[in-house]
Each structure stands twice: as structure tokens, then as C-alpha cells.
Amino acid sequence: MTEIPQLKAELRAAIDSANPNGTYEEGTVDRIHELMQQLADITPMPRPIDEQDKVAGPWASYFAQFGPKHTAGKPIEHETSMKLLSFNKFPDAPIRMLEIEQEIHHESKDYNNVQVIENIAGTKRAHFIVYGRYDIAEETPQRYQVEFYKIALVGLEGESDDELRESFGLAPDTPLEVEMKPPKLHSDVVFCDDDMRINFGSMGGAYVMNRSHHSGYSVRFS
């Protein structure tokens, strides 16, 4: 496993070579994918099903390709909409994505995406949380089968619901927490060690995550 530290260093260097606007050149994206696959081939955790406690915790997105490879190069910080992030459950309100975290709890089976968003004016930030639960089958020991079931807009500064709606341009009667029929998605944990995780998603996504060190926003970690 002596190759792992070198490959991780090369992957981090490639990710850090982003353009000033957060995008990547095509050759850099190809190199990032090559390094991700090389690490996946020698992962110290070939069966996450047996080590779910080590996969658990808060993780911060370091590189995120949100769909098939031809969409790669989109920075984590970008403009999007609540509708797009919520499986069409929230209104089409424009927002700016700032950060993406993932919180996995091996006992409760929580698998939550915690996104730090900002209104387009840049005057208010909030958490946009997509709550999910996961399961893993013995025949696919790397595959986290995830069902997302609830989405919530959560303030960061103790503001009222009305203040939060107004800040993000939502109608006064817009619910800030919405239940949903769970879509069936999966994400393969193809590499995981003490401080880095690599996932390949069912919709063509590819993600590099760094372990975070806090007690959690959507679920509590001891």
C-alpha cells in the first residue's frame, strides 16, 4: 500500500490545480479520473459493508462531478436552483451552492447531503439538507443503496421561517420541509481510508471527499 500516499498527493495536486473560477481543463479532469481509479484498485477497504463505522462521519466534498463525464469541470461553488437540488419539490428559486457535506451514520443508517447555500444577493446563507437512509447488500459490498425521503431548508442564524423565506425569495406559504417519495439511487464507496473517500454514483457522478471533524448538522456524531 506504499503507493496510496503518493497517489493521494497527486490527486490532491490535480484537484488543487483548478482554474481561478473553479473549473478544470479537460486533461486535468482525465488525470483526476485516472488517479481516482488507481486508488480504487488498491483501496484498503474493499468491503465497506464490513467497516461501516469507518465510512461513517461527516465528509466535505473536495471534488464533485455531478453527472456523466461530459459534464465534468463544474465547480462545487456554482449557481443553481432549489428546484434542481430538491427533485422538483422546492420552487425554482435561484441560489448559489457554496459547500457540500455528506453525513453518514452507521447505526441509524442516515445518509444525508448537507449543502451550504446562499441567496443570489449574497446576503443570507442556509443549509439545504436532503435526508436519506442507506442499506448495503452482501452481494454488492461497496454499494450504498440510498433512498432520499425528506428535504429541508434550515437557517444558520436562528432566523424565523418567514425571514428565511423572504431572504430566498420564497412565497409566504412555502413549506421549508418537504417529504418525498424516495428515489432509489446508489453510490459505490470505491476507496476509503482515514481522511479520504472516493464515491462513484448511480447517475454518473464521481466524488472525492475529505473527512470533516465536527459533531454533525443533520445527525449527531459522538
Domain-embedded: residue 217: no
Instruction: Please calculate the CA angle 179-180-183 and round it to the nearest 5 degrees.
Output: 150
Domain-embedded: residue 23: yes
Cβ-Cβ contacts under 8 Å for 79 (sequence gap 6 or more): 94, 95, 96, 97, 120
Indicate the pLDDT class of residue 70, thresholds 50, 70 and 90.
Answer: very low
Domain-embedded: residue 219: no
In the chain, which ranges are continuous DSSP H helix? Answer: 3-16, 26-41, 52-55, 82-85, 161-167
CATH no. for residue 56?
A: 2.40.128.280
Note down the domain range covering 29: 3-211
> Is the full-model pTM beyond 0.85?
yes
For 35-55, what is each residue's pLDDT tens digit?
999 999 999 999 999 999 999
Domain-embedded: residue 222: no
For 80-135, what is each residue's pLDDT tens digit?
999 999 999 999 999 999 999 999 999 999 999 999 999 999 999 999 999 999 99
